[in-house]
Amino acid sequence: MIAPAFAAERADALVQRFSAHFGRRPEVIVRAPGRVNIIGEHTDYNNLPVLPMAIDRHVLVAAAARDDRRIRVANVDGHFAPRTYQLQADVRRFAAGDWGNYHKAAARGLLSALGVDALHGGDFMVDGDVPPGAGLSSSSALVVGSALALLAVNDRSIPPLQLAGLTAMAERYVGTQSGGMDQAVCLLAEAGHALRIDFDPLRAHTVPLSIGYAFVVCHSLVAAEKAGAARNAYNNRVVECRLAARVLARLLGARLPRPLTHLGDLRILFADRSLADFVAVLENALPPRPLRIQEIADAIGARSELLAAESGSGMHPQETYDIVRRARHVLTEAERVEQAEAALAAGDWLGLSALMDASHASCRDDYDISSPALEELIAAAKAAGAQGARLTGAGFGGCTVNLVPSGDTSLFLAMIERSFYLHKAAARGREHAFAVAPSAGASVMRV
Ligand code: GLA
């Protein structure tokens, strides 16, 4: 992983900051990009495909080795106070929501893969221009950047595909039961391309993005912090999907040695049936509203304790589970990913736009992850000339991604500024809407 040229000025400034803070020069600078998901929302943890691209906004991590096992992490942004910890068998979390937990997540993941004594410590200084809490994967970029930097100062490396899986598991340490999209695109993306990612086993291939259209990201001004309020809502969706998978497996008469827990696994077991078939089976058996576990069990002739245990829903008890609507979103979204990849390959931008719009409607109506601010922003984007517009990332706030004809980008940005941002106090002093370029995955540069 040799670095392409990356923002030389920012890298120089980071070297200065590192030297001023730690009293010595860094040995490496790692660049880890954020991402925008073009389509395929909340499909990854169901082992169904996604289609994101890495963006030209990055987390940079400067690092130098230490002889002992101490880790010191500082941030150019004064909102994030310096943290220190020790590499050891049991790396305990900082307080919930603490930014240092992302570094710890990376370190824990590497220690469990390489052995608790495999790594010595290091000094790290972080900079970045991926807006935090925006659904652009600043947190995964920090985890991946930290992992690559810790490996680099130990003169170790792990193949990108393997590291993507490892960091995806490792990031769950911060408390979200996320899938593996963000880390995979951060590590495996190529400039000028989107990345189609499939799971279990993790694999990816590039999809060329021809010029003609731009992807513009707009922030709803509502943060969607992974470690914050969105976490429970996200984890609830994961549980509902597991339960839906379990119910569908029973309805379809699957005989399995182990409970099936991912909706995507049904595709492998019932290769002759379509995803739309699965939706119809579920719709015929259950009403599309929140149901108590007992109601679900009664409808399919199962014991509620068994169903809860098999799907893991007993571990995170919720009162009700909206499994028909959740599964309908996930399964139709997976179809849209296939269709979107074909549309991109054919340069069919209008086809892609329609799929993005349908994805947003499904995220809003069946997955309940939109918000009033996101809806207002989507309407403003459409009025400003976006062809396709949808929320991107986990939802509950964060950003939208908009497909805009390249020549119209400046006009689009000016119009959205007037119609959405101008009169909002929260919008002052920051850039909230910008075009993003499909960028290369993470890289390590010796300095
Ligand atoms: C977050 C998670 C991803 C994915 C998206 C929703 O970004 O980290 O794994 O589930 O939400 O598509």
Q: Which atom of ligand 1 is nearest to the CA of 140?
A: 8
Question: Measured in angstroms, how far is the CA atom of residue 182 from the centroid of ligand 1?
Answer: 7
Pocket test for ligand 1, best of 36, 38, 42 (most atoms within 8 A of CB): 42
Residue 270 CA, ligand 1 centroid: distance in Å: 26
DSSP 3-state helix, strand, coil percentages of the chain (rounded to 5)?
A: 45, 20, 35
pLDDT at 220 over 60: yes
Residue-wise DSSP of 401-429? EEEEEGGGHHHHHHHHIIIIITT-GGGTT
Closest residue by Cα to residue 290 from 257, 323, 330, 259? 323
Give per-residue pLDDT as tens, 379-402: 999 999 999 999 999 999 999 999
Q: What is the largest CA-CA distance in the chain?
A: 68
Query: What pLDDT score does 224 carry?
Result: 80
* Ligand 1: nearest atom to the Cα of 234: 11
Residue 144's identity, in one-letter code, is: V
Residues belonging to the active site: 182
Categorise residue 271: left if φ over 0, alpha if ψ from -120 to 50, beta otherwise.
Answer: alpha
Burial class (CB in 10 A: 0-12, 13-18, 19+), 184: buried
pLDDT digit string (tens) for 110-136?
999 999 999 999 999 999 999 988 999
Radius of gyration of the chain (CA): 22
Q: Give the nearest ligand 1 atom to 135 CA.
A: 7
- The answer to whether 183 and 140 are in contact (CB under 8 A) is yes
Q: Tell me the pLDDT tens digit for each residue of 10-52.
A: 999 999 999 999 999 999 999 999 999 999 999 999 999 999 9
CA of 374 to the centre of ligand 1 (A): 17
Beta strands in 115-200 (DSSP E): 122-128, 193-198
For residue 41 and ligand 1, the question of a CB distance below 6 A is answered with yes
2 has a pLDDT exceeding 50? no
How many other C-beta atoms can be found within 10 angstroms of the C-beta atom of residue 270?
A: 17
Find out whether 122 and 150 touch, Cβ atoms under 8 Å. Answer: yes
Q: Which atom of ligand 1 is nearest to the CA of 37?
A: 12
Is residue 333 lining ligand 1, measured as CB closer than 6 Å?
Answer: no
Beta strands in 156-305 (DSSP E): 193-198, 203-208, 213-219
* Ligand 1 near 178 CB (within 6 A): yes
CA 184 to ligand 1 center in whole angstroms: 11
